[in-house]
Amino acid sequence: MKGKTKEYDIIINGGGMVGATLACLLAKSGRKVAVIEAYEAAKFSADSEYDLRVSAISRASQNALIKAGAWNDIIAMRASPYEAMDVWDEAGDGNVRFEAAELGEPDLGHIVENNVTQRAVTDALNKLDNADLICPAKMKSFVVDDESVTVTLENGKTISAQLLVGADGANSQVRELAGIDVKRDDYGQSGLVAVVKTEKSHEFTAWQRFQSTGPLAFLPLADGSSSIVWTLPSDRADYYLSLNKTDFKVALAEALDYKLGKIIKVGKRGAFPLRGSQATPYVKERIALVGDAAHTIHPLAGQGVNLGLKDAVELAGLIVNAKGDLGGMKLLRRYERARRGDNVITMRAMEGFRLLFGHSATSVKTARNFGMKMFNQIPVVKNEVIRKAMGL
């Protein structure tokens, strides 16, 4: 203890899914960690309605959550494996189907509510002696010097560490105070989300139909319902939010081409704006950004949280194995080099798919449908693509 300032190895601003997972990985490896989080994780009840926000947790993310000590609790609360993914184009007969059985895997991943993952990683964090969750609390400012970074909280208390990690979301306070620029792409679209019941079984399959306005995804939930993410121009999303339930159910069933029959029940609906972003850079002396603080992408393939957890695993691995200064640029540049390429490639790929399927020219429609059919008929290539997406 140095005066009234408590010292740590790493301070993480933001105890969300990525920040708390990073903290668990570090603390379980012997590093002393403080996590500053403004809001307490919501309690979970098996009787509660499904959260509107869900993530498709990949195998790589599952392994990270196992190492963090959270996965068993996630399964015990609520998670749904999906065993196949079926993707097709509304403007033709192009179709691609991925199946776990073809890979010799039990599933392609799990659909998990964000609040379930949040609850599990928070509980895992609270069990660790090397981690202090400072919650509810907010960071006011920080000062970087040659040997440490000192954070002042809004209540006036100070803590210090060798490294401050911004895991505080797309509107990152750490990024802003550090003077790190961010390049943003506003897609002019919104993601409309809801939980629905369908006439036919979802068959533990993730269904995705590409429309000219954006993809519509039906993600299987454990009770037989589906979580939908419908990418739409923002004004269309507002229109569908304004429809009464009867009209919305008809419009939604038509949008999925009645693949799962009629929509027999729909819960509350919501929408969120879709933007892509990349911080430039991810790191400065004694500062590192992870997850949405560093990058956001189109939710087309549900890779957002998976990329964030990859950031956490990479940074944790470098810190755990570091012999010297944890906040020095030599280590932090290694982290950025390891993660920026993957994040940018994934972001641009999602944007490319969005533009490709939004193109209305007949020649483009014909070419993409032909391409989808050919891709579906080459198992070696198709399975390699899905293995990479799973992190295998």
pLDDT tens by residue, 21-57: 999 999 999 999 999 999 999 999 999 999 999 999 9
* H helix or E strand, kind and range, residue 112: strand 109-113
Same domain, 65 and 11: yes
Same domain, 55 and 133: yes
Q: What angle do CA 23, 57, 98 make, to 5 degrees?
A: 155
Same domain, 155 and 173: yes
The pair of three-digit structure tokens given for residue 49, joined into one six-digit string: 């309605």
* Alpha helices per DSSP H over 170-289: 173-177, 234-242, 245-255
Residue 385 has pLDDT above 70, yes or no: yes
Same domain, 212 and 92: yes
Same domain, 95 and 236: yes
Same domain, 232 and 250: yes
Same domain, 258 and 328: no
Give the dihedral of Cα atoms 282, 284, 285, 286; nearest 10 deg: -50
Give the dihedral of Cα atoms 219, 225, 229, 234; nearest 10 deg: 170
What average pLDDT does this structure show over 71-77?
98
The structural domain count of the chain equals 2
Residue 200 domain boundaries:
82-109+187-274+358-390
Question: Does 309 fall in a domain?
Answer: yes
Question: Does 172 fall in a domain?
Answer: yes
Global pTM value: 0.92
pLDDT digits (tens, 9 = 90+) for 150-171: 999 999 999 999 999 999 999 9
pLDDT digits (tens, 9 = 90+) for 217-244: 999 999 999 999 999 999 999 999 999 9
Same domain, 191 and 307: no
Question: Does 327 fall in a domain?
Answer: yes
What average pLDDT does this structure show over 126-141?
98
CATH of the domain at 235: 3.30.9.10
CATH of the domain at 16: 3.50.50.60
Mean pLDDT for the chain overall: 92
> What are the DSSP calls for 321-351, one per residue?
H--S-TTSHHHHHHHHHHHHHHHHHHHHHHH
Q: Which region among 95-109, 250-264, 342-356 has the lowest average model confidence (pLDDT)?
A: 342-356
What pLDDT score does 330 carry? 96
Residue 357 has pLDDT above 60, yes or no: no
Residue 297 has pLDDT above 90, yes or no: no
Same domain, 147 and 198: no
What pLDDT score does 272 carry? 92
Same domain, 346 and 211: no
Same domain, 170 and 215: no
What pLDDT score does 343 carry? 87
* Alpha helices per DSSP H over 141-190: 173-177
CA 124 from centroid of its chain's CA atoms: 19
State how far the alpha carbon of 51 is from the alpha carbons of 267, 304, 305, 340, in Å.
Answer: 10, 17, 16, 30
Same domain, 53 and 145: yes
Question: Does 74 fall in a domain?
Answer: no
What average pLDDT does this structure show over 249-261?
97
